[in-house]
Amino acid sequence: MNIHDSEKIAGILESMGYAPCDKSEEADVVVFNTCCIRETAEQKIYGHIGALKKLKRANPDLIAVVCGCMSQQDGVAEKIRASYPFVDIVLGTSNLNLLGDAILSAQKKKKYFNVDFTRYREEDFVQSRTSYPNAWVNINFGCNNFCTYCIVPYVRGRERSRPLDDVMTEVRQLLADGYREITLLGQNVNSYGHDLDGGVTFATLLHAIGGLSGKFRLRFMTNHPKDLSRDVIDAIAAHPNICHNIHLPVQSGSTEILRRMNRRYTRDGYFALIDMIRASLPDVGISTDIMVGFPGETEEDFCDTLDLVRRVKFSSAFCFVYSRRKGTPAYSMEDQVPPTVKKDRITRLLACQNAVTKEISQTMIGKNYEVLVEGANFRYKNTMCGRTDGGRLVNFKCDESQIGNFVTVNIERASSATLWGVITEEK
Ligand code: SAH
Ligand code: SF4
């Protein structure tokens, strides 16, 4: 989502005549598109903002911008105004469309600080796409779920869906422009449409896009286990261009911790969902997000998470250490887990998931997979990478002219998460 927001920022700047540059010393405008989901990201960004002071001294015309969800947090805009006087513009998550006006103001040396929740339309942006052959498409914004650890509902506001026709117009245009993979984005894509007229659901949208002609792939994220319904799985099964790849954040394998997180599903409910998905889509790749060290998490709760990871066999998992976010209910919960325990648990969780990924990778060796050539792997010469339908990243030799093509790759070897193969067929 942040990458896509950055594309919108780039689009506005490019429409004003700015162009990207490699070094901040050469820049006329520096934009920090921030994230405040975890404290470490926030600390890093303050370090980067501080470093602007020197650049601004060397180039007083430099325009410094802070936007993204950190600037939307209570008190942050005031803190930046007081402690970082060289910042010219602060914008929030819902008024990014004002960036053009803000830049014009800053060009006249007038600061522009505005973190009001106003709603923009995607159509307000000239987007600068940077991820060909992949394209991101927002379908809903904000979140109503209020998981007790999470800052997102406070900084991205209430959930709102884009009208179906607007999404379809954007998707059709992207396909006409030659994009080969569309990823639909939302904090909870499964609740798409609940605020729209006409009974539109996420499944309606999947059927509408899945029914478009041409060779392309459709992915989406993120799914919330409490809302992922059979009609969505049926829609995936009905259309060959919808990837068998579901990102389904579990967060914890302990029902008690899930209750305290306000996730509104249980460990058994999650297993039942996985069974339902795999019954319809046997080759599906399921990935997840997991958090360790949530307040009150005991060794037993954590072992339930390890056990769930071994049983579900996720193709990959983003694993996080719980980070205390001011303003969320979990911030003031008792029994915060000590850092040493958190560190021990994340190490064990990563080892556990690595072993699972390795096991799955071994079963893929010798088999053929359709892969979209997505881009260069710059660490190796003449090496491109792309993903299987199930979402696994594969490296293979070929040149850049193949980017955007579908190829068949035979998997030859695997180093845990990374697969290596050879092209056996070009399409
Ligand atoms: N809407 C998505 C997640 C968005 S945030 C969903 O519900 O799945 C992405 C991930 O960051 C979450 O799934 C969670 O694992 C992690 N996360 C969110 N808040 C966090 C916090 N306070 N500390 C650590 N990780 C957090
Ligand atoms: Fe955060 Fe929960 Fe909303 Fe995801 S569903 S953004 S974790 S509150």
Measure the CA–CA gap between 365 and 378, rounded to whole angstroms: 24
Please determine whether the domains at 2-114 and 365-426 fall in the same fold group of CATH. no
Measure the CA–CA gap between 369 and 357, rounded to whole angstroms: 17
147: confidence class by pLDDT, cuts 50, 70, 90: very high
pTM of the model: 0.96
DSSP H/E element including 425? strand 418-426
Measuring from atom 2 of ligand 1, which residue has the nearest CA?
A: 187
Q: 288 CB under 6 A from ligand 1?
A: no
The single residue listed with the structure tokens 């996985």 is 274
Using the 8-state DSSP alphabet, how is residue 197 labeled? S
Sequence spans of domains, the chain: 2-114, 122-363, 365-426
CA atoms within 13 A on the CB side of 420: 9
CATH of domain 122-363: 3.80.30.20
Measuring from atom 1 of ligand 2, which residue has the nearest CA?
A: 150
226 alpha-carbon distance from chain centroid:
19
Ligand minimally distant from the alpha carbon of residue 289: 1
**Residue 28, number of CB atoms within 10 A of its CB:** 15
- 126 pLDDT higher than 90: no
Q: What is the pLDDT at residue 119?
A: 78
CB 287 within 8 A of CB 316: yes
| CATH class of this structure's domain 2-114 | alpha beta
Q: 85-125: per-residue pLDDT in tens?
A: 999 999 999 899 999 999 999 999 999 999 998 878 888 78
Choice from 143, 149, 292, 320 to test ligand 1 binding pocket (greatest atom count within 8 A of CB): 320
Q: 322 CB under 6 A from ligand 1?
A: yes
- 416 pLDDT higher than 80: no
Q: 282-337: per-residue pLDDT in tens?
A: 999 999 999 999 999 999 999 999 999 999 999 999 999 999 999 999 999 999 99
Q: What is the mean pLDDT of the chain?
A: 96
Q: What is the third-level CATH fold of 365-426? A: OB fold (Dihydrolipoamide Acetyltransferase, E2P) (2.40.50)
- Strands in 84-148 per DSSP E: 89-91, 112-114, 134-138, 140-141
Mean pLDDT of 193-212: 97
